[in-house]
Structure 1
Amino acid sequence: MKLTIHGAARQVTGSMHLLEIGQYRILIDCGLDYEKDRSVQSNENFPFDPRDIDVVVLTHAHIDHSGNIPTLVRLGFNGQILCTPPTADLTELLLLDSVNIFMNKAGKSRKHGKGKYNTNVQPLYLQKHVMDAMERFITIAFNKPFRISGDVEVTFIPVGHLLGAAAAVFKINDNGTEKSIAFTGDIGRKNYPVLDDPQPLPPVDFVVTESTYGGRTHSKGKSVEETLVDVIDKCCVKEQGRLIIPAFSIGRTQSLVFTLNKIFSSGLLPPVKVFVDSPMASRATRVFRKYHNLLNKEAQDFYNSLGDEFEFDNLTYVETLQDSRQISNYYEPCIIISSAGMLEGGRIQDHLFYNIQNYYCTILFIGYCAKGTLGNRLLRGDSIVHIKDRDLAVYATIKQTDVLSAHGDHDDLVNTIKTQNKATLKGVYLVHGEESSMQPLSDALTADGYPVTIPEKGVSYLL
């Protein structure tokens, strides 16, 4: 049995791991690599022939895990794609959204790239390729073993993080020897709004685990509700201003809306108008409703006693661009939830354009902002930022909280591995993290006696 880490090696994006059992090839995740030194088009340069892959196993829908599947299909992959039912539905939304992003970038390239600077950027894939890929999806319920081939069985174990997200646990007959390996995907955190806590992994021989928050722990103390109550009370109640929350449309927005529903329905704050300005968030929320039985007990109890977790008085889901622009004419205190979370494109830029110089506006970041993004520039304290071809002074209040981060922190990652018996666990491979995160996680696990490897991209390991 051979393992090769072809993506998310010493970086966060582009998850792609090849597991070979004899001549049988399994690709675990096939994500877009969008590190700053790579073009989108470079994602079509696979380090193997897509036609040689027998099956793809997808841990969850996020683009850094799913976003290159249509390219794989376009270049000849002809097998099945296995995942949980919610992952299939959310992946389709995200892949179609990626097509729109590719097309917009191609249009801008043709418009601005004239003469020798014309890069003639082509979309990585089109809607047709997304639909071709979706036809290959086979969905498998959580905790139900599924035999991929005569020698390989896979089981999806819930890990929180996102609706449908799973660790893929393989049982393998390798030339008469029973072996097992788990790929964690992205691990969630306990007590997260809407989602169940991650389930422990069963005993395995090898673990390939994410390491995003290695060396970092989440803030302790205030709950999600308490944090939001404090910010909303100051910004919208006492100052009669507006609160803008950049949030990813799938996952983060639904958890945020449910928390706001709890706050207002319990009377912790007087009513405040809430706009969810993201058509993608509206579509994703319908998927969350569809799989209501997979939400956590708190969300289901709320539904049984008070109704829809994602609907309440004074909440408006904004669909059209015209209605989105009308929000700037709403002069009462309000909360605006909009994508994208790092402020790179999307309707959020309109709201920033009209409010960044508003002393009575607060911008609350609830997620990570990569270096080089507008969100990162605001968080580091830039006094002037460039939005929609204009340089604007920053008078709005900038705040950040990690209470809605969907990733488990250092302690969660360590505890995930500690459920394994160190006497029988033969290897832990760290992926999906910067080296500055991987090293402290490796140090902590090694000190506890676990065998840890930080793989180089493209290096193969015989297991």
Structure 2
Amino acid sequence: MKLTILGAAQQVTGSMHLLQLDNYNIIVDCGLDYEKETYQNENLYFPFDPAAIDLVILTHAHIDHSGNLPTLVRMGFNGQILCTPPTADLTELLLLDSVNIFLSKQNKRSRSKRTKSGPEPLYLQKHVKDTVERFVTINFNKEFQINNQVSLTFIPIGHLLGAAAVILTVHENGTIKKIAFTGDIGRKNYPLLTNPQPLPPVDYLVCESTYGGRLHSTDSTLEQKLIETITESCIKYPGRLIIPAFSIGRTQALAYALNKIFSNGLLPSVKIFIDSPLAGSATEIYSKYHHLLNDEARAFYEKNNHSFEFKELSYVNDKRESLSVSNYHEPCIIISSAGMLEGGRIQDHLYYNIQNYYCTILFIGYCAKGTLGNRLLRGDPIVRLRNRDLMVYATIKQTDLLSGHGDHNDLLNTVRHQSSLTLKQVFLVHGETKSIGALANALQSEGYAVSIPQKGQSFEL
């Protein structure tokens, strides 16, 4: 059995791992690598023949794990894609949204010529349709026999509705080997989601490390932070609060938290706009699978018949409504995608508000290097939007209380469920070099064997 790390090696995006067995090849995740501005070209080719892949296993729907599946299909992959039912539904939404982003980039017109100036789309809607038809869904904690050599179990891992760690049991040369892929590990007590479930004993563990060396804030709760920020941005001063949020996952957690705040009368009424059609569709899926949410969220749903609708909240659907939000002159909260500011309607709201002294931009998640969100967070005084250089006068804030990733201690605890005497190797992926190094040092000090793979590096297991 050979493991090759093909993506998210010493970086966060582009998760993709190849497991080669006797005459059977499995890909775990097939995400977009978008750390470079030329990411569409970077994702066009695979270091293997897609037609030679027998099976794909998808840990969760986020684009850095699912976003290059249609390219794989377009290039000749003809097998099944295994995932949980919510992951199948959410992935379809995200892949169709990716097509829209590709087309918007392609249709950018130069000032001098009325011609398409952007890169060719990686894939189109028909390729997404072909991909979705390959989904085979498997429920959590149900062993699925892939063939007479391999079986699969999905373990709930938090992070996102439907997200799973992958446990593969492999019969090879008269022995049984188990390998786990964590995907992205969630955090405890996250809004809506259940806590990550401990993984069973395995021989090898491919573990994410996004928050290696970093601990989440504990000085306030999410509700306290939101109340404080809204008070400063919209009540004390007649301004507006803009929250870039991924349409799937963060937006639903945020809407649920705001619902509890305003339904309990903890703040005066403030108008809230969720400006993302994708978020509206994703919210319907969250409601569809409300039985998979945590105990508190299920109880809230049963009491109120909905977790994501309340009188202060409006969902913005078409572009005309979105533009009208920019002309709304009362204090308000605008939640829009994308979370890293790469495309989406959030760029319109930034364009009109980045130079507004009475605007606060609150980041609630991770922003990868090279993204507009990362440039704002590092304090760039000027950013480029719509081919214009704009001074940054808005207040930039950040909280990690809605980060869907477990922190350093959560990552350690995930590995600690494995005995250092029986776990043969931990492969750390999906993290920046500093984060991976911090987690590796901590694990090695506890006796675990740790590898930090380079992209394309192979290991015989």
**TM-score bracket for the superposition, by shorter chain length:** over 0.9
Deviation string, structure 1 residues 233-283 (Cα, Å, up to 9, x no partner)? 222122132111111111010000000000011111111111000111111
Distance 1:138 1:37 in 2: 33
For residue 331 of structure 2, what is the aligned residue in structure 1?
333
Note the residue ranges of structure 1 that are not aligned, 5 or more in a row. none
Shift of 1:119: 7.2
Shift of 1:391: 3.2
Distance 2:454 2:439 in 1: 16
Partner SS state of residue 44, structure 1: coil
Distance 2:423 2:217 in 1: 31
Distance 2:401 2:124 in 1: 36
Distance 2:61 2:268 in 1: 36
For residue 175 of structure 1, what is the aligned residue in structure 2?
173
* AA in 2 matched with 1:435: T
Aligned equivalent of 1:432, options 430, 433, 445: 430
Distance 1:10 1:394 in 2: 31
Distance 2:94 2:319 in 1: 19
Aligned ranges 1:334-353 → 2 under 5 Å: 334-353=332-351
Q: Contact 2:106/2:116 (CA < 8 Å) preserved in 1? A: no
Q: Contact 1:14/1:32 (CA < 8 Å) preserved in 2? A: yes
For residue 377 of structure 2, what is the aligned residue in structure 1?
379
- Is 1:82 aligned with 2:82? yes
Partner SS state of residue 153, structure 2: strand
Aligned ranges 1:69-148 → 2 under 5 Å: 69-108=69-108, 111=110, 121-148=119-146
Aligned equivalent of 2:284, options 278, 283, 286: 286
Aligned ranges 1:95-244 → 2 under 5 Å: 95-108=95-108, 111=110, 121-244=119-242
For residue 253 of structure 2, what is the aligned residue in structure 1?
255
Distance 1:119 1:263 in 2: 46
Aligned equivalent of 1:303, options 301, 305, 311: 301
Q: Contact 2:35/2:370 (CA < 8 Å) preserved in 1? A: no
Distance 1:358 1:113 in 2: 31
Shift of 1:326: 0.7
Q: Contact 2:35/2:369 (CA < 8 Å) preserved in 1? A: no
For residue 454 of structure 1, what is the aligned residue in structure 2?
452
* AA in 1 matched with 2:315: Y
For residue 6 of structure 1, what is the aligned residue in structure 2?
6
Distance 1:140 1:410 in 2: 30
Q: Contact 1:186/1:210 (CA < 8 Å) preserved in 2? A: yes
For residue 40 of structure 1, what is the aligned residue in structure 2?
40
Q: Contact 1:113/1:119 (CA < 8 Å) preserved in 2? A: no
Shift of 1:400: 1.0
Shift of 1:11: 1.4
Q: Contact 2:159/2:405 (CA < 8 Å) preserved in 1? A: yes
Deviation string, structure 1 residues 198-232 (Cα, Å, up to 9, x no partner)? 00001111100111111111112201111101111
- After the TM superposition, list the runs of 4 or more consecutive aligned residues in structure 1 that deviate by more than 4 angstroms: 110-115, 117-120
* AA in 2 matched with 1:5: I
TM-score, with structure 1 as normaliser: 0.96
Distance 1:280 1:120 in 2: 23
Partner SS state of residue 149, structure 1: coil
Note the residue ranges of structure 2 that are not aligned, 5 or more in a row. none
* AA in 1 matched with 2:28: I
* AA in 1 matched with 2:95: L
Distance 1:190 1:299 in 2: 14
Deviation string, structure 1 residues 396-436 (Cα, Å, up to 9, x no partner)? 22211111111111111111000111111111111111111
Shift of 1:6: 1.1
Give the CA RMSD over aligned residues: 1.8
Deviation string, structure 1 residues 437-457 (Cα, Å, up to 9, x no partner)? 111111100110011111122
Shift of 1:13: 1.2
* AA in 1 matched with 2:271: K
Distance 1:300 1:120 in 2: 45
* AA in 2 matched with 1:416: T
Q: Contact 1:113/1:120 (CA < 8 Å) preserved in 2? A: no
Aligned ranges 1:43-82 → 2 under 5 Å: 43-82=43-82
Q: Contact 1:194/1:296 (CA < 8 Å) preserved in 2? A: yes
* AA in 1 matched with 2:459: Y
CA separation of 1:216 and 1:359: change in aligned 2, threshold 3 A: same
Partner SS state of residue 342, structure 2: coil
CA separation of 1:113 and 1:408: change in aligned 2, threshold 3 A: farther
Q: Contact 1:414/1:445 (CA < 8 Å) preserved in 2? A: yes
Distance 1:76 1:395 in 2: 49
Q: Contact 2:273/2:314 (CA < 8 Å) preserved in 1? A: yes
Q: Contact 1:211/1:441 (CA < 8 Å) preserved in 2? A: yes
Partner SS state of residue 25, structure 1: strand
Distance 1:118 1:440 in 2: 45
Shift of 1:99: 0.9
- Is 1:403 aligned with 2:401? yes
Distance 1:240 1:37 in 2: 37
Distance 1:46 1:97 in 2: 22
Q: What percent identity do the matched residue pairs reach?
A: 67
| Stretch of structure 1 that moved more, 325-334 or 183-192 | 325-334
Partner SS state of residue 35, structure 1: coil
For residue 19 of structure 1, what is the aligned residue in structure 2?
19
Distance 1:37 1:315 in 2: 35
Q: Contact 2:101/2:343 (CA < 8 Å) preserved in 1? A: no
TM-score, with structure 2 as normaliser: 0.96
* AA in 2 matched with 1:13: T
Shift of 1:360: 2.2
For residue 268 of structure 1, what is the aligned residue in structure 2?
266
Distance 1:383 1:56 in 2: 43
* AA in 2 matched with 1:36: K
Shift of 1:120: 6.8
Q: Contact 1:428/1:453 (CA < 8 Å) preserved in 2? A: yes
Q: Contact 2:12/2:368 (CA < 8 Å) preserved in 1? A: no
* AA in 1 matched with 2:270: V
Distance 2:215 2:237 in 1: 32
